[in-house]
Amino acid sequence: MPDELILLEQQLRHHDDRYYRQADPEITDADYDALRDRYLALCAARGHTPYRAGPGNDLTAGFVSVAHRVPMLSLEKAADGEDQSAAGQLTAWVERTRKALGLDAPLLLLVEPKIDGMSVSLTWQDGQLVQAVSRGDGVKGDVITAQVLASGAVPARIPVTGTLEVRGELYLPQSAFAALNDRLRAAGEKLLANPRNACAGMMKRKDANEVKGCGVQAFLYHVAWADGVAGLPNSQIEVVRWLKTLGLPVNPHLTACTDAASASAVCAGFAQQRSSLAYDIDGMVVKVDDRRFHERLGATEHHPRWAIAWKFPPERKPTLLRGITVQVGKSGKLTPVAELDPVLLSGSTVSRASLHNFPELARKDVRVGDTVFVEKAGEIIPQVLGVDLARRPADAGPVVPPTVCPACASPVLADAVFIYCPNPACPAQVRERLRHFAGRSAVDIEGLGEAVIDQLCTVRNLTSPAQLFSLTAEDIAGLDRKGAKSAANLVAALQAAKSRGLAKILTGLALTQVGEKLAEDLAGRFGSAQALLDLAARHAAGDPEPLAILDAMDGVADTTARAVLDQLANPAVRQVLADLAAAGVDLTAKLKEVRSVAGVAGKKFVLTGTLPTLTRPEAEALIVAAGGTCVGSVSAKTNYVVAGEDAGSKLTKAQTLGITVLDEAGLRALMEG
């Protein structure tokens, strides 16, 4: 059995990745906090330097990252616990703050809802929005200017001179979230867990046009930086009102309080009325109102000392755990699922709930026959939170992780967190892989949802993606709820999907560590599946050059390069690609339209720093569309370096080598020929 400290750290890293980078959490915030608290307690007891667990980061491959002028920190939390209530913790914080300031008089506080959204930093220069940046890891964040502008969540221009950096939350109202999940449900795709993660996913779309009309909105509340800006108040509540006069969206629910008791009453009152709001909140924020005190109080590495978050307790209900089944995912991952006595929770009846993984199940000590507490994460995904030990039956024994796959009986493999079925022909894996292949993020086959794929696997014995493209209208018309017209439509959709291109196919194959961005990069770099397969064959034969070629690609680590080549050398993967080619599927990269521009075509460009209005992907797209090439490092063969703010070492090297350096205006001028 792995050491508990090591196991907890591995689980925290996994959940940070699911929450911050994949926007698809597996556990509730309360469960995450419990894991983290136990981990930090063990670290303290053993003198172990902790992994910086929570908050994680939302930095995403394919986006330009820039340093925050002022770090975007998390907040200290006040929450009901075994030792002290949230009200008691808030009182202690107020007294600690008054003492730090040397105040005998009451401390004026501002209480406002804590929006459950995506943190963002917005900079206007002389009234023009020039940069929007996600929280990232708190020190640096991703530039999402194009996405924010496309969403319409904030105005592109405001009546102010100077430089103004304002922070707030992007969020998806419940009505927009419900409409989005309705569309996913109709398409037979996986539902999103909550509006927060849906919003984060929207704002990290590479194509900003996909964000238009999605319903993302914003509440702004904090001025992080101002230079040459007149009229900025010293009171935090007056700052919010001032932001409103500029035409910026602010939350109307602001309450001034003079002591901890009245602030606690406001927080507790909002816990009762949160369901009446049109957007999600997960607590309240209490701030020192006088902004001049903020600098005096300062901050820790983790949080500012002038604010604290009051966390709402999660809604939960008890029910009986009748059994535990095991689901098999597309990668072979085995996930335990609780089979429950039906219970009404957040407006719907719940009879199944995720148990995430077997170490998590063991940590909670969940057993068949237990009375368990169930909660809906984000009002959508049912999860088991814990056990009522006082009601445990005498004969309830610990759950033993499976040693064989429940779908195909293959002996399982295990790492510190998950158990896997290693059999690629496992029928459960086949079904899940086909669902992924047909999904919107991959080949995007309209009309081929989960229910249709389940029937095709059962009735038509489909086992591979290539077999989809040989289906006839007669094959489909015999399925449940598929008449002649819908069958013809699906056949047409399958024919259209043949020309999606290599990047979509690579994404659809669900190869380990190959997401949309890497699939696009591989397709663009090598042009065809055959070129990739030839490279993998050389790697399998012991040639070191293929690994070096992939290692040289931007954002590709050595472990990722090895995983890609090993999988493409696998006979089963090679057979799938061969079958797709035989079915008439295009396995070459989709070429983007190129309008050759003199001075750009055939030239190598390096981009560095932050440009005033263009994101890095936008600038790269302009260059490639004009016939140029973007590379990641500066060398004597580089023709131009396009440099923005905070350009760094690439700019220095370009100047040393005498390479032409362009700013954004220079790049645009070059594009005009």
CA 102/CA 622 separation, integer angstroms: 57
Q: What pLDDT is attached to residue 622? A: 82
User: Total structural domains in the chain?
Assistant: 6
Identify whether 595 is part of a domain: no
* Euclidean distance between CA atoms 671 and 597, whole angstroms: 7
Last residue of a domain, one of 497, 519, 550: 497
Closest CA to 312 of 360, 348, 264: 264
411, burial (CB in 10 Å: exposed 0-12, middle 13-18, buried 19+): exposed
How much is the CA Rg of the chain, to the nearest whole Å? 27
Give the pairing type, strands 163-171 and 140-142: unpaired
* Identity of residue 403: T
Dist CA 449 CA 190 (whole Å): 10
Least confident of 22-31, 311-320, 550-559: 22-31
Helices 558-568 and 516-526, axial angle in degrees (round to 10): 70
Return the CATH number at 628: 3.40.50.10190
DSSP code of residue 18: I
CATH number, domain containing residue 30: 1.10.287.610
In a domain, 9, yes or no: yes
Give the residues across from 222 on adjacent strands.
167
pLDDT at 526 over 80: yes
3-state secondary structure (DSSP) of residue 361: helix
479 confidence band (pLDDT: 50, 70, 90): confident
Q: Are residues 468 and 506 in the same domain?
A: no
pLDDT given at position 57: 60
Based on the fold, state whether residues 223 and 273 are members of the same structural domain. yes
Q: What percent of the chain has a predicted confidence (pLDDT) above 70?
A: 91
- pLDDT of 20 > 90? The answer is no
C-alpha closest to that of 218 among 192, 243, 237: 243
Residue 346 has pLDDT above 70, yes or no: no
pLDDT tens for each residue of 416-447: 778 989 887 788 988 988 988 998 778 888 88
Question: Which of 108-122, 356-370, 648-662 is most confident?
Answer: 108-122
Looking at the chain, the whole-number percentage of residues with pLDDT higher than 90 is: 41
Q: Which residues pair with 219 in a beta bridge?
A: 169
Q: Is 50 exceeded by the pLDDT of residue 367?
A: yes
CB-based contact 467:575 (threshold 8 Å): no
With a threshold of 0.85, does the pTM exceed it?
Answer: no
Residue 55 forms part of a structural domain:
no
CATH number of the domain that residue 481 is part of: 1.10.150.20
pLDDT at 189: 67
Q: Does 421 fall in a domain? A: no
Q: Are residues 654 and 530 in the same domain?
A: no
| Average pLDDT, rounded, for the chain | 86
Residue carrying the six token digits 């050759």? 596
Q: Is residue 407 part of a domain?
A: no
Residue 54 has pLDDT above 70, yes or no: no
Alpha carbon 629 to its chain's center: 29
pLDDT value of position 337: 93
pLDDT computed for residue 65 by the predictor:
82
How would you classify the pairing of strands 76-78 and 307-311? parallel
The answer to whether residue 348 sits within a structural domain is yes
- 620-663 residue pLDDT tens: 778 877 888 887 778 888 999 998 876 777 888 888 888 888 88
331 and 259 in one domain? no
Tell me: do 387 and 439 sit in the same domain.
no
Which of 129-138, 185-194, 241-250, 486-495 shows the lowest mean pLDDT across its residues?
Answer: 185-194
Pair (560, 620) in one structural domain: no
Query: Which residues are catalytic, by number?
Result: 114
> 112: left (phi > 0), else alpha (psi -120 to 50), else beta?
beta
Helical (H) or strand (E) element with 324: strand 317-328
Within this chain, do residues 306 and 342 fall inside the same structural domain, yes or no?
no
pLDDT of residue 55: 46
| Full domain range(s) for residue 299 | 76-311
In a domain, 182, yes or no: yes
pLDDT of 380 over the 60 cut: no
Q: Tell me: the pLDDT tens digits for 327-345?
A: 998 888 899 999 999 887 7
Burial of 159 (0-12, 13-18, 19+ CB in 10 A): exposed
Region of residue 375 (phi > 0: left; psi between -120 and 50: alpha; otherwise: beta): beta
User: Is the separation of the CB atoms in 267 and 118 below 8 Å?
Assistant: no
Are 137 and 275 in a shared domain? yes
- Identify the pLDDT of residue 266: 96
In 10 A of CB 205, how many CB atoms? 15
Neighbours of 401 (CB within 10 A): 16
Pairing of strands 109-115, 281-288: antiparallel
CB burial readout 430-450, b (16+ within 10 A) else e: bbbbbbbbbbeebbbbebbbb
Residue-wise pLDDT for 592-625, tens only, equals 555 778 888 888 898 888 787 777 767 877 887 7
* Cα 584 to Cα 124: distance, rounded to the nearest angstrom: 51
Of 286, 311, 336, which marks where a domain is finished?
311
Between 648 and 450, the higher pLDDT residue:
450
Q: What is the tally of helices (H) and strands (E) in the chain?
A: 24, 22
Examine the fold and report which residue of 365, 391, 417 is the final residue of a domain before the chain moves on.
391
Q: Is residue 405 part of a domain?
A: no
If asked whether residues 9 and 138 sit together in one domain, one would say: no
Domain co-membership, 509 together with 639: no
Question: Do 257 and 283 lie in a common domain?
Answer: yes
Alpha helix positions (H), 460-570 = 465-468, 473-477, 484-497, 502-508, 516-526, 529-540, 545-551, 558-568
> What CATH number is given to the structural domain containing 154?
3.30.470.30
Task: Select from 505, 672, 656 the least CA-distant residue to 573.
Answer: 505
Average pLDDT estimate for 321-325 = 94
pLDDT digits (tens, 9 = 90+) for 276-289: 899 989 899 999 99
Write out the DSSP string of 56-101: -----TTS-EEE-SS-----EEE---SS--HHHHHHHHHHHHHHHH
Same domain, 327 and 450: no
